[in-house]
A and B are shown apart, each in its own frame.
Chain A
Amino acid sequence: MRNDLHGIIYTLNSELALRELVEHRNSASIPFGGRYRLIDFALSAMVNAGVRDVGVIMERDYQSLLDHLSNGADWGLARRSGGLRLLPPFGLPEAHSGTFNGCMEALRSVSSYIRDIPQEDVVLCAADWVGNIDLNKAYELHRQTGAEITAVCSEGYGPFAHHRLVKDPDGYARRLLFSEGGPGEGLFSREIYILKRDLLLELMDYCSDANHNHFHRDAVAHYLAQGGKIAVYEHNEYARRITSVRDYYDASMELLQPKMMAELFPADGLPIRTKERAEASTYYGEQARTNASLVADGCYIEGELDHCILFRGVRVAKGAKLKNCILMQDTVIQKDAQLNCVIADKDCVVSEECFLSGTDKLPIVIPKGEHI
């Protein structure tokens, strides 16, 4: 269904704690869940809510993201009018490093694009999270309440949960708290907002004049200080922010629990779209063994898997034993190799009889294309 909502995804500087995973890419294009990239979750949520135009603000290291998104056809966004709009850093002063100091600076760099948005409302989020969030329902709430800003929030505490909104009895939030760790009051913000385009432009102007760069600390805080109120849409199913290797590993392994899997990929629910690849189905050999694993198409498995996630085109040779591992696209595990708690990025080769073991707190990460 067509609606009056425009999507903006900002893919800002990758956290250092993502280490090897962002050596060759922006965090938005980190592979996740066997066949996706992180940005697929934000993009799919928007497309599933009927958004027809999406702008993606890009920072440095966006080649892999460009390759993934292409013209947006796999998300139904290759359109003659509107559709996917890629917004790489452009027209910045020479001294600028191409790294934005916050969401507001990133938005400011594409202000002419935002001014031209024909829709009345904008859904704004980062691309560093996984989840299957029904933005249709959030948008419905936004229109019903007539709020200028609607925030997607969840219950819970943790380092990811430091922007907190406290609801008043009438259901609106008028207080924004900053708390590292818990326990804090209220719900934490998923940093997914639906807001009026005109309000966004006003907040951009304010931040520009005051030389402010941050969405929460500066823009939202200013809006609330002026007597604003925020409608709150709660999402309490599986959703995770990925800002470190540890986050990445934990969020991945959680998917091996059927409940989490069903929340992220409900059988008859909203689909998560991604770039298609021509692949055969996955083949399991005579001696293959598998337990509690998530396996994409195009894999060729002759060894043993226990609690593993395999992306498209992975090969596991006879005698190889893999436990608690994540193997990204086209990685090859040769005969009799044994891996435990290993994340192997794309196109890695782990040689015969290689033995590698990390721990669940500190998984080993093999960078993209390495031969071990």
Chain B
Amino acid sequence: MKKECIAMLLAGGQGSRLYALTANVAKPHIPFGGKYRIIDFPLSNCANSGIDTVGVLTQYRPMKLNAYLGTGQPWDLSADDGGVFVLPPYMSAGEKGNWFSGTANAIYQNIDFIDVRDPEYVLILSGDHIYKMDYADMLREHKEKGAAATIAVIQVGMEEAKRFGIMNIGEDGYINAFEEKPAHPKSDTASMGIYIFTWSKLRQALIDDNADPNSQQDFGKNIIPKLLAAGEKLWPYRFQGYWRDVGTITSLWDANMDMLSPDTIDLYDPNWPIMSRSPIRPPHVAGQGADIRHSIVTEGCVVDGTVFNSVLSNQVTVEKGARVEYSVLMPGAHVEAGAEVRFAILGENVRVCKGSHVGAEPDGTEGWGVATCGPDVTVGPGAMVAPGAMLYDDMVAT
């Protein structure tokens, strides 16, 4: 079954900079924006772009992610001749089997999976980005420009540039240099970690790279520089629009807050729906005396208290007399009467007991940050979770 383009979604990273939130789940499975998990964004983009075959490369703590993906039906990706395929590392006869040692190695180990589909092009995606993109448009440019690889790029500003892979673009419009996280960036055109490769070129590059003992087997660090050095044509696909990497607590919190500003990303556009697997829950209840402003609320929530500038995933409870401000509450979080949650992220099924406080408003001090409670943590009655704290375990008042 010949395919023009299939997608390979890198979802194996631990997301170690999310600490307690990714202690037991892979980063792409983290709840986001109320109704979603992070991986819903690239999966929905695939479905909306007409890409019906998606290989999802998993490695770190994949159980919940696998269950979430299922057959891919919620994203309309369960067609007979396509679908979502979970691709964990595996063993071959006579070998011990290897973990994916880098992003490129993950694809290298699945060359057979791609060969069976015999695509002209392969789209490489990350499972930790929030954005809406028409990959069909990117593929059109890739073909038009006769490129070996097309890299989606975005302007990030000079001060941010050193956190990204930075492109230099020549007068002919093609990429002529690439530096991964440069100390002294020459431009602010950053790679979004979204690539389209002509499969024959990528296939050879992966095989060559695998034979190089000094390679870290990473797209940004190894494959792209090698293609450049070999004189291949690399084209930048300039993306306009909302795009965020949500790899840190601050960026995860920021991006959630962005969902409250309709001008950043439109989640209500029927022409580009972001789809998700939702639990079966009734509509949310805004109870007698509830006060909800500038917030996102999801089905299954029961809100009797005050919620300002916050994002509530499904089945969140905010009791009467509780107060939630500038916070992200993941599924099943429960804030009891008299408790206050400010500038915080509450993981799944966190319970904030009566009279306790989590987080605080920014006070300009060095140590301030978003307070985070890991999944299933209970903050005991009257306990205080300091701003910037990262709670892995239950806490009792001292």
Contact surface of A with B, Cβ cutoff 8 Å: 33-35, 73, 258, 261, 264-265, 271-273, 276, 278-298, 300, 305, 309-310
A-B contact count (CB 8 A): 108
Contacts of B163 in A (CB 8 A): none
Interface of A is mostly: loop
Which of B185-193, B235-243, B294-302, B373-381 is the interface stretch?
B294-302
Contacts of A286 in B (CB 8 A): 293-294
CA distance A107 to B44 in the complex (A): 44
**Contact status B299-A280, CB under 8 Å:** no
Chain A residue, CB-CB nearest to B273? A278
Contacts of A297 in B (CB 8 A): 35, 278, 283, 298-299
Q: How far is the CB of A319 from chain B (nearest CB, A)?
A: 15
**Which among A295, A296, A309 has the greatest number of chain B C-beta atoms within 10 A?**
A295
Q: Does B170 contact A (CB under 8 A)?
A: no
Q: How far is the CB of A105 from chain B (nearest CB, A)?
A: 35
**Contact status A280-B35, CB under 8 Å:** yes
CA distance A297 to B283 in the complex (A): 7
**Contact status A288-B293, CB under 8 Å:** yes
Known pairs A35-B282, A280-B296, A294-B286 / 6 extra A-B pairs, C-beta < 8 Å: A282-B297, A284-B295, A285-B293, A286-B293, A291-B288, A293-B285
Contact surface of B with A, Cβ cutoff 8 Å: 33-35, 44, 73-74, 260, 262, 267-268, 273-276, 278, 280-299, 311-313
CA distance A264 to B282 in the complex (A): 9
Contacts of B287 in A (CB 8 A): 258, 292
Chain B residue, CB-CB nearest to A287? B293
Q: How far is the CB of B175 from chain A (nearest CB, A)?
A: 35
Task: Out of A279, A284, A287, A292, name the residue touching B288 (CB < 8 Å).
Answer: A292
Contacts of A280 in B (CB 8 A): 33-35, 267-268, 274, 296
**Contact status A284-B294, CB under 8 Å:** yes
Contacts of B35 in A (CB 8 A): 279-281, 297
Task: Out of A272, A289, A300, A309, name the residue touching B280 (CB < 8 Å).
Answer: A272
**Contact status B286-A281, CB under 8 Å:** no
Chain A residue, CB-CB nearest to B315? A267
**Contact status B282-A295, CB under 8 Å:** no
**Contact status B293-A296, CB under 8 Å:** no
Q: How far is the CB of A282 from chain B (nearest CB, A)?
A: 5
Interface of B is mostly: loop
Given contacts A288-B293, A291-B289, A300-B268, A282 and B284 within 8 Å (CB-CB): yes
Task: Out of A35, A261, A279, A288, name the residue touching B285 (CB < 8 Å).
Answer: A261
**Contact status B282-A278, CB under 8 Å:** no
Contacts of B313 in A (CB 8 A): 281
CA distance A294 to B290 in the complex (A): 12
Contacts of A35 in B (CB 8 A): 282-283, 299
Contacts of A298 in B (CB 8 A): 268
**Which among B35, B74, B285, B291 has the greatest number of chain A C-beta atoms within 10 A?**
B285
Q: How far is the CB of B372 from chain A (nearest CB, A)?
A: 21
CA distance A292 to B294 in the complex (A): 18
CA distance A295 to B278 in the complex (A): 16
Report 15 cross-chain contacts, Cβ distance below 8 Å, ordered by A residue. Answer: A35-B283, A35-B299, A258-B285, A261-B282, A261-B285, A271-B281, A280-B35, A280-B267, A284-B292, A284-B293, A288-B292, A292-B288, A292-B290, A293-B285, A297-B278
CA distance A83 to B269 in the complex (A): 34
**Contact status A290-B290, CB under 8 Å:** yes
**Contact status B282-A33, CB under 8 Å:** yes
Q: How far is the CB of B67 from chain A (nearest CB, A)?
A: 16
Q: How far is the CB of B337 from chain A (nearest CB, A)?
A: 15
Q: How far is the CB of A291 from chain B (nearest CB, A)?
A: 6
Task: Out of A33, A276, A305, name the residue touching B278 (CB < 8 Å).
Answer: A276
CA distance A295 to B282 in the complex (A): 9
Q: How far is the CB of B43 from chain A (nearest CB, A)?
A: 12
Contacts of A272 in B (CB 8 A): 280, 282
Task: Out of B33, B275, B296, name the residue touching A278 (CB < 8 Å).
Answer: B275
Chain A residue, CB-CB nearest to B317? A267
Chain B residue, CB-CB nearest to A309? B283
Contacts of B286 in A (CB 8 A): 290-295, 305
CA distance A291 to B276 in the complex (A): 28
**Contact status B34-A281, CB under 8 Å:** yes
Contacts of B290 in A (CB 8 A): 290-292
Chain B residue, CB-CB nearest to A285? B294
